Chains A and B, each alone.
Chain A
Amino acid sequence: MTTRSLGQFYPVSSPVHALDPRAKILATAVFVAGLFLIGSTAGLLFVAAALVALVALSRIPAGTFLRLLRPVLFIVALTILFQVLFSREGVTLLEWGFFEVRSGGLRQGFFLALRILLLVSSAGLLTATTAPVALADGIEDLLSPMKRVRFPAHEVAMMMTIALRFIPTLGEEAEKVKGAQAARGADFSEGGPLRRARSLVPVLVPLTVGAFRRADDLAEAMESRGYRGGEGRTRYRELRFRKRDALALGVTLLVLLVGILL
């Protein structure tokens, strides 16, 4: 709970949060694919404006959302740098020994950086506005046609749900074990990489043991409550695809289309 990073659910109520997870997953998939069809900077800027409006609608504070993007800033910076240094298009703007900065490189760097930011933002918006369980339910539904070819859609979704559910639990457990070992004088920030890796052994061993014990407990708890896999299983929260979900998908397609044409 101390660190917030890419892909963390932000629990507020908003029109975006309220959409059917299937609509959001589909819209995000279409959006990501569509980004690669947009060839002009103007098109990307138009789509970006639409995404900014959507973030505003989702009631996620701008600062929090921008913090979600921090992990990819390094890649974005690297992309711009490479484009600027190695592109040989357009007029020369600056020359410094072997290096020259050309207008084409700048334009191309900006274009690619924008595309990466849009990719990450759209995926980030999906996970920030959709509770992990709803996300897994949505994926299960979307994958269920593949059950005909014996694809275990329910089992995959259940595994995802469990994994997502236990990430914070494991995180807490790791904090606790680290605390307990720190109380015994362990120091995780001292020495070179090898020494630091070695200092993690007293944390990783109890964590692994704990994870297996937890898995056993969970399997037993599920079994004692009659879990038998996906066959004939109903849901506590039924997903309902409403008009507004269709509308959201329609608007996404429209925005992309305009972006591609621009």
Chain B
Amino acid sequence: MRLELKDVRHVYAPGTPFEVEALRGVSLAIEPGEVLGIVGGTGSGKSTLVQHMNLLLVPTSGEVLADGVDARSLEKRELRRKVGLVFQFPESALFAPTVEEDVAFAPRQLALGEEEVRERVRESLRALRIWDLAARSPFALSGGEKRRAAIAGVLAMRPEVLILDEPTAGLDPAAREELLALIVNLRQAGISVVLVSHDLDEVAEVADRVCALHEGGVRALGTPAEVFYGEPAQAPATVRVASLLKESKPEIGDPVRFEETLAALKALPGV
């Protein structure tokens, strides 16, 4: 599915002293099968933006198009199934007695047969490598396990677009690596992924394109190299090294892969 946002504005609490314009005309498309990274400082509008993608928030003006059709005209539940949104700290919405039951919540809402629900739960738990935790209480898990259980809960809807809002925040490096591997796997399976992150290195590593938000507007949109080379001081380490190497090693790809850059470095004379 191709998801497109056209000139989306969002104003919180209009007409009160608390009024805030969180998005000031954002236009952006998520192409089928791509990984789109969204970066930006705190308060730049990242979380507000992603909640427009499944219409949890309705734009104050502008529109959201799903395959060219106004998303507001679609059935809400169907839209939210196709566009899976994993909130920031999604583990705070775990509620069921067991991980299995929690992951089954979303597919149950889709009125599927019991066998189909079980199948999807199995598939999601496997994808997140937490199959062995199925019978445990979600409240008794470690932080990283909870996070994965919550993501499995959205993946069980078999979304066409998966939005992950800061999925690696507060995770240890091993859990972070596994999540990034999951994103790469989903992309190979043809699912588009929107990755919101503060960590520019991880975005540079997995994203096909990057959108940089600043004060509610799109500051830059393009491949990681295009977006990050312009701002060397804040660019991810890998990208900075790659940009230095690129002159002598034009084969360094875009997106910049850590392994490629490392290989290019090792191939330098005297290293």
Q: Name A residues whose Cβ lies closer than 8 Å to a Cβ of B.
A: 1-2, 4, 10-12, 64, 173, 176-177, 179-187, 201-203, 205-206, 209-210
Contact = CB atoms under 8 A, between A and B. Distances in A.
Interface of B: 12-13, 16-18, 51, 54, 56, 76-77, 80-81, 84-87, 90, 92-96, 105-106, 109-110, 139, 153-154, 157
Contacts of A185: 77, 80-81, 105-106, 109-110, 157
Contacts of A209: 139
Given A185-B77, A202-B105, 13 more contacts: A11-B17, A173-B92, A176-B87, A176-B92, A179-B87, A182-B80, A183-B84, A183-B87, A185-B81, A185-B106, A186-B109, A202-B95, A206-B94
27 contacts: A4-B16, A10-B17, A11-B17, A173-B92, A176-B92, A177-B93, A179-B87, A180-B87, A180-B93, A182-B80, A183-B54, A183-B56, A184-B80, A184-B109, A184-B153, A185-B105, A185-B106, A185-B110, A187-B77, A201-B95, A202-B105, A203-B95, A205-B95, A206-B92, A206-B93, A209-B139, A210-B92
A2 B22 CA distance: 14
Contact of A1 (B12, B92, B106): B12
B95 A183 contact: no
Contacts of B77: 185, 187
A186 B8 CA distance: 25
Nearest to A210: B92
Majority secondary structure, A binding face: helix
A4 B87 CA distance: 26
Contacts of A10: 17
A184 B105 contact: yes
Contacts of B92: 173, 176-177, 180, 206, 210
A128 to B, nearest CB: 12
A184 B16 contact: no
Contacts of A1: 12-13, 16, 18
Contacts of B105: 181, 184-186, 202
Nearest to A175: B56
Residue of A4, A10, A176 most packed against chain B (CB within 10 A): A176
B17 A183 contact: no
Contacts of B94: 206
Contacts of A4: 16
Given A1-B12, A2-B13, A209-B139, A184 B18 contact: no
A217 to B, nearest CB: 13
A91 B234 CA distance: 83
A258 to B, nearest CB: 35
A176 B87 CA distance: 8
B220 to A, nearest CB: 28
A202 B96 CA distance: 8
B253 to A, nearest CB: 34
Nearest to A181: B93
B157 A184 contact: yes
Nearest to A187: B77
A180 B109 CA distance: 14
Contacts of B139: 209
A179 B51 contact: yes
Contacts of A177: 92-93
Nearest to A182: B56
A209 B84 CA distance: 24
Contacts of A179: 51, 56, 87
Contacts of B81: 185
Nearest to A11: B17
Given A182-B56, A185-B109, A12 B17 contact: yes
B17 A180 contact: no
A24 to B, nearest CB: 20
B218 to A, nearest CB: 23
Nearest to B86: A183
